[in-house]
Structure 1
């Protein structure tokens, strides 16, 4: 069987022999003579071609009986973004990453996607080489392997973080999947300092980390985030156990370094998932650029900023509130309003450093807040309340198991939220790669090259960029030298 998402054999061979980092996570190399599977960038001497099999996912290689390599560490590989081109796969993988299969059976996942369990199994095996359950199990195993390698967490805490209900089950699963007990990983590694946790998060280069930080810095919410030219910091956790998360680039490898303070081990998978989404670490820019570069304007933009990615959002409700606050005002004005909202209605966090001492208010808190007191017009306050009530009551959520059109329709059903705001929320809060706010003034002006295209013409121009229109949005925004601080200025 040759899964549909696997590159051709010739391309896999070329990338493996060249250790081409652009293909990291796009496929995995399994060596029959050793029983081990590797990333294409593995530093070990390349095996002979007749001993090699290729798999589209680490889970597929594991399901075939191969063990993860201890040198190249498949747990550090980014996800393969070509899977996102098929919406059902994108939604399914997103729900698995969010932990749906941790508590519910595969039939629940199939129901969320509108398929039978058999249809879902067939789709995953045909495209990814593994069933949903195998994808989920291998994610847990590789996370445990990373935590054992990079942290001083106890085996019990590692088991909890990876979602195992007992240490015995964890030990059995690790022995089956890695061919050794967890203690063997600890004996082989070097000394790991205690205290804060530092995890390595891999990506396929290039990544314009400076541009990403600058975008996020201009939109940082005081009290929640502190961002400078090299580091992203954010308060995470609950009032009873708040901590600071820090992200910076590794100067030697295509990785970000995630530093966590005193966090509940069970929260680690979610924190890692949010950071990867925030910095778009699973982007395969080779695939994105192959589509966008057919347009001469975008080809020039890619040439200027080849590592530009789509900044995500930490929390869906937070992004949506920020988008509503940014309607009809500048980025700076929206930041001022967000700061007032957090200071007046966000819960204070004791013992935290200044600037990182607030929790963003919940939908229930915003729904009942006197929002006009922070300087909002009455209509904007009503929109914010309607948004908060919809999120509080479950009418609107930000889970991965939804499509772009459905999400936009549910957003625009709320008073005061139009397609522009809905697509902006979809772009950042859900990281939907085809989100495209065609009503954006800056996009219309850049595409019109001095004139201004209509919304219909802007939408029509974007059709050739599907399914990666969100990346086109970022390139076009960066092409705008001096965007007007009006509706089209992204909040």
Structure 2
């Protein structure tokens, strides 16, 4: 039902205050209009007796409400971090990653180690909707955003949103939005010019400059280009390369994603990747409440209240970059990454200068003579073993993995220890509890007058679970404040 796990009084206060910290945490359904809204909706607040609260957009949709055209629920960030049930988080991550587009509810339940009945009950109890309803609502909201913000044809919108039939799309959109897609298209203003631009919402605060600075120091030359106010990179395949640019909206808690030469079918995946890179679905209320009892972390939060965990574009790319960075400085690792791309990457004719390389795939590196770029023999062997493990399916970077399972698979590979495994989990998977306990900077910062052991660092971190990755970022930035050399 609509009040599942929601504090009605808190929801009422957040709704009346239009508190952006609760955007996506709950949805307001208005009985008199049949519409559901974000807490930040600019429309005149309805009377309390006409309001019902739902824990997800899917729950409101399942109850028969349609999405608001003013506040646009499709722009709300996810609230996955607020769900402390591990299997629910994993299930949502898989659905967000498109699992149900090709596979069944039974397959999803099996992946999570549950029966289909257990999975359905878990979603209904916590989200007020079944996994299928969550998936259907996500598809509908993606279509609604593409209709509102792009000039893509309705057929392309349907395909991009995951509908294999235009007839089914039209029927689903009419049922969910009480209008045909063509009617919404006529009502909306769309951007003009080359490419297309999408709005990506988040719950403030977001320290976008700090995120860019972190990513800039680790950018892969030829593949990424990160300026003072934007992130750019190559997308797509060597046969059909594209380009994207991410910048901050100066007036709204949103990023702007500009895409060029991108097939419509790729748009949802690109949106997911950008959201992961900038950690746009983070709920910093929960993170800060857990970390602020540690004085050192409270200091970090006070300095950078909008700091998040910077993710990576591609799991294999992050993993290679992590191995290149073993036992060397950030600058030295970037030099090695540039050599790797120049020697083993694919040149992309016609792309912008500085964004004309496709990062090598596992198949490109599995037999590569990596010593040619200046790698020590042991680290070159580690990279080849990593590439082989990815090719053979012994290691992957798919959504919905548990931190423990991923780390165990990583450290089973020669040359990859817990530090590298947790760093990959932190950046490639967006695991909020990843914690490279052996990191020298962490051990120095936590020890203050002395350097903690890895075991002591691990023990100290237990109080910060499940948000240790955020503690890592704050400690690295605090260390960076004290030295000219960037943190790991």
Per the normalisation by structure 2, the TM-score is 0.98
Question: d(CA) in 1 for partners of 2:306 and 2:287?
Answer: 11
In the TM superposition, 1:399-414 aligns within 5 A as: 399-414=398-413
Deviates more, 1:419-428 or 1:93-102: 93-102
Question: d(CA) in 2 for partners of 1:424 and 1:191?
Answer: 40
Q: Give the paired residue count.
A: 487
Would you say the 8 A contact 2:477–2:487 is kept in 1?
Answer: no
C-alpha deviation, 1:296, in angstroms: 1.5
Deviates more, 1:237-246 or 1:115-124: 237-246
In the TM superposition, 1:261-410 aligns within 5 A as: 261-410=260-409
Question: d(CA) in 1 for partners of 2:166 and 2:193?
Answer: 21
| Unaligned ranges ≥5, structure 2 | none
Distance 1:438 1:84, change over 3 A: farther
Question: d(CA) in 1 for partners of 2:154 and 2:339?
Answer: 43
Partner of 1:70: 69
SS in 2 for 1:257: strand
C-alpha deviation, 1:483, in angstroms: 5.7
Question: d(CA) in 2 for partners of 1:28 and 1:178?
Answer: 16
Question: d(CA) in 2 for partners of 1:306 and 1:429?
Answer: 23
Would you say the 8 A contact 2:80–2:92 is kept in 1?
Answer: no
In the TM superposition, 1:28-43 aligns within 5 A as: 28-43=27-42
Partner of 1:85: 84
Would you say the 8 A contact 1:442–1:483 is kept in 2?
Answer: no
Partner of 1:200: 199
Would you say the 8 A contact 2:2–2:59 is kept in 1?
Answer: no
Question: d(CA) in 1 for partners of 2:406 and 2:32?
Answer: 48
In the TM superposition, 1:221-236 aligns within 5 A as: 221-236=220-235
SS in 1 for 2:36: strand
Alpha-carbon displacement from aligned partner over 1:270-291 (angstroms, at most 9, x marks no partner): 0000000000000000111011
Distance 1:421 1:84, change over 3 A: farther
C-alpha deviation, 1:401, in angstroms: 2.0
Alpha-carbon displacement from aligned partner over 1:50-77 (angstroms, at most 9, x marks no partner): 1111011101100111000000000000
Would you say the 8 A contact 1:76–1:201 is kept in 2?
Answer: yes
Question: d(CA) in 2 for partners of 1:371 and 1:268?
Answer: 34
Partner of 2:459: 460
C-alpha deviation, 1:189, in angstroms: 1.4
Question: d(CA) in 1 for partners of 2:372 and 2:397?
Answer: 28
Distance 1:312 1:3, change over 3 A: farther
Question: d(CA) in 2 for partners of 1:174 and 1:226?
Answer: 38
Would you say the 8 A contact 1:310–1:428 is kept in 2?
Answer: yes
SS in 2 for 1:217: helix
Alpha-carbon displacement from aligned partner over 1:146-205 (angstroms, at most 9, x marks no partner): 000000110011011101111111100000000100011111113542531100000000
Question: d(CA) in 2 for partners of 1:212 and 1:10?
Answer: 35
Partner of 2:253: 254
Question: d(CA) in 1 for partners of 2:288 and 2:354?
Answer: 38
Question: d(CA) in 1 for partners of 2:484 and 2:386?
Answer: 27
Would you say the 8 A contact 2:2–2:52 is kept in 1?
Answer: no
| Unaligned ranges ≥5, structure 1 | none
Partner of 2:43: 44
SS in 1 for 2:327: coil
Alpha-carbon displacement from aligned partner over 1:385-426 (angstroms, at most 9, x marks no partner): 111100011000001121001110110000011100000000
SS in 2 for 1:234: strand
SS in 2 for 1:212: helix
C-alpha deviation, 1:427, in angstroms: 0.3
SS in 1 for 2:299: helix
Partner of 1:173: 172
Question: d(CA) in 1 for partners of 2:189 and 2:80?
Answer: 33
Partner of 2:56: 57
Would you say the 8 A contact 1:3–1:128 is kept in 2?
Answer: no
Question: d(CA) in 2 for partners of 1:423 and 1:103?
Answer: 30
C-alpha deviation, 1:300, in angstroms: 1.4
Partner of 1:116: 115
Would you say the 8 A contact 1:246–1:258 is kept in 2?
Answer: yes
Would you say the 8 A contact 2:419–2:436 is kept in 1?
Answer: yes
C-alpha deviation, 1:303, in angstroms: 0.7
Deviates more, 1:94-103 or 1:144-153: 94-103
Partner of 1:16: 15
Would you say the 8 A contact 2:81–2:283 is kept in 1?
Answer: yes
SS in 2 for 1:384: helix
Would you say the 8 A contact 2:223–2:234 is kept in 1?
Answer: yes
